[in-house]
């Protein structure tokens, strides 16, 4: 009898602890933003008129709608948030290239052998328009593309590659080396299969600190496209600043944040998703803090995550207006 009471008592306690943890996962999380050093070195001021004209277009390939409390920990809101799968097409005088690759028309054939749980959670999306179809619509052939910069090597950022076979892939060496230790072999080698035999060219963000970020790579040597490490989501997640004379600066974040609240509050995704997609929790949260302060200091610069459908749409609307006005 005593044993039975003990078991019931233990069960109730465990249930209460489980419920407590579940409730806690929806509460806001404390971020040590006060410890951030605000002046982290000087960064170059550039002459906007000397910068080239650069066209930047988001190519939305697919999406899924999730409740806000999943996208933003502590949001207490079920409001729908659209998570997009996009590529960015960048037309620079020296190169026509992509940042990430969106989704290929064949993506479902690559996912068919994946576990049901994966296909119903992280790989659950509606294919809207493949990367190949976006490029055809713009009369861009594979051979017109000079290269694609991959923000990182998660499957959903390399999923458009089957539509651009042969196009060189530019990958942060840190990301590539880390992927060799595990990511390439996960999910029956999904990432490796998606990357096909496209040539790979590794780059290093070995240049000076840039806008408060630890190091940089000036892609064309003219200050117009500058890559910076935004680690934590993966070891080598890489952001891209685009500085141009024909419109506002743009800062692409890869997956350092999914929606703007992640760096504005700051707040992670709900731990259920965050823990599955983040390789280093502390580093990823530090990156959110860095972005938080950058965003506060530069309200004129849109910081756009690759899944942030709302910001991407807003950017494309203002871009159409800006380009119409400057013509």
**Number of residues counted as binding Zn ion (CB under 5 A):** 2
Closest distance to Zn ion from the beta carbon of 107 (Å): 13
Q: Is the peptide bond before 266 cis (omega within 30 degrees of 0)?
A: yes
> Does residue 100 touch Zn ion according to CB under 5 A?
no
Of 156 and 308, nearer to Zn ion (C-beta) is 156
Report the distance separating Cα 100 and Cα 62, nearest Å.
13
Closest distance to Zn ion from the beta carbon of 309 (Å): 13
Closest distance to Zn ion from the beta carbon of 110 (Å): 15
Which residues ranging from 137 to 166 are in contact with Zn ion (CB under 5 A)? 156
Of 233 and 244, nearer to Zn ion (C-beta) is 233
Of 124 and 318, nearer to Zn ion (C-beta) is 124
Task: Compose the 249-278 pattern: x for residues touching Zn ion by CB under 5 A, - for all others.
Answer: ------x-----------------------
| Three-class HEC string of the chain | CHHHHHHHHHHHHHHHHHHHHHHHCCCCCCCCHHHCCCCCCCCCCCCHHHCCCCEEEEEEEEEEEEEHHHHCCCCCCCCEEEEEEEEEEEEECCEEEEEEECCCCCHHHHHCCCCHHHHHCCCCCEECCCHHHHHHHCCCCHHHCCEEECCCCCHHHCCCHHHHCCCCEEEEHHHHHHHHCCHHHHHHHHHHHHHCCCCEEEECCCECCECCECCEEECCCCCCEEEEECCCCCCCCEEEEECCCCCCCEEECCCCCCCCHHHHCCCCCCHHHHHHHCCCHHHHHHHHHHHHHHHHHCCCCCEECCCEHHHHHHHHHHHHHHHHHHC
Closest distance to Zn ion from the beta carbon of 131 (Å): 15
Of 236 and 247, nearer to Zn ion (C-beta) is 236
Closest distance to Zn ion from the beta carbon of 317 (Å): 23
Closest distance to Zn ion from the beta carbon of 258 (Å): 8
Task: Compose the 191-230 pattern: x for residues touching Zn ion by CB under 5 A, - for all others.
Answer: ----------------------------------------
Of 69 and 150, nearer to Zn ion (C-beta) is 150
Of 92 and 152, nearer to Zn ion (C-beta) is 152
Closest distance to Zn ion from the beta carbon of 191 (Å): 12
Q: Which residues bind Zn ion (CB under 5 A)?
A: 156, 255
């Amino acid at each position: 009898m005593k044993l039975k009471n003990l078991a019931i008592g233990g069960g109730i306690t465990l249930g209460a602890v489980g419920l407590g943890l579940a409730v806690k996962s929806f509460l806001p999380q404390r971020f040590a933003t006060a410890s951030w050093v605000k002046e982290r070195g000087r960064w170059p001021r550039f002459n906007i008129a000397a910068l080239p004209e650069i066209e930047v277009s988001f190519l939305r390939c697919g999406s899924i709608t999730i409740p806000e409390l999943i996208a933003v920990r502590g949001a207490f809101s079920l409001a729908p948030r659209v998570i997009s799968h996009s590529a960015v097409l960048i037309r620079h005088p020296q190169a026509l290239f992509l940042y990430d690759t969106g989704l290929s028309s064949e993506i479902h054939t690559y996912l068919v052998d994946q576990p049901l749980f994966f296909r119903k959670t992280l790989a659950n999306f509606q294919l809207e328009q493949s990367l190949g179809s976006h490029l055809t619509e713009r009369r861009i052939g594979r051979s017109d593309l000079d290269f694609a910069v991959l923000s990182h090597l998660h499957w959903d950022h390399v999923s458009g590659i089957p539509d651009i076979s042969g196009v060189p892939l530019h990958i942060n060496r840190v990301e590539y080396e880390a992927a060799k230790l595990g990511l390439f072999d996960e999910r029956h080698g999904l990432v490796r299969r998606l990357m096909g035999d496209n040539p790979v060219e590794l780059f290093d963000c070995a240049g000076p600190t840039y806008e408060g970020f630890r190091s940089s790579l000036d892609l064309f040597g003219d200050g117009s496209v500058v890559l910076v490490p935004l680690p934590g989501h993966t070891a080598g997640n890489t952001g891209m600043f685009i500085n141009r004379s024909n419109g506002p600066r743009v800062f692409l974040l890869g997956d350092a944040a999914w929606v703007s609240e992640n760096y504005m509050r700051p707040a992670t995704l709900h731990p259920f998703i965050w823990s599955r997609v983040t390789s280093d929790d502390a580093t990823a949260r530090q990156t959110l803090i860095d972005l938080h302060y950058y965003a506060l200091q530069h309200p004129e610069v849109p910081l756009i995550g690759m899944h942030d459908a709302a910001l991407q749409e807003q950017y494309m609307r203002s871009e159409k207006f800006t380009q119409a006005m400057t013509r």
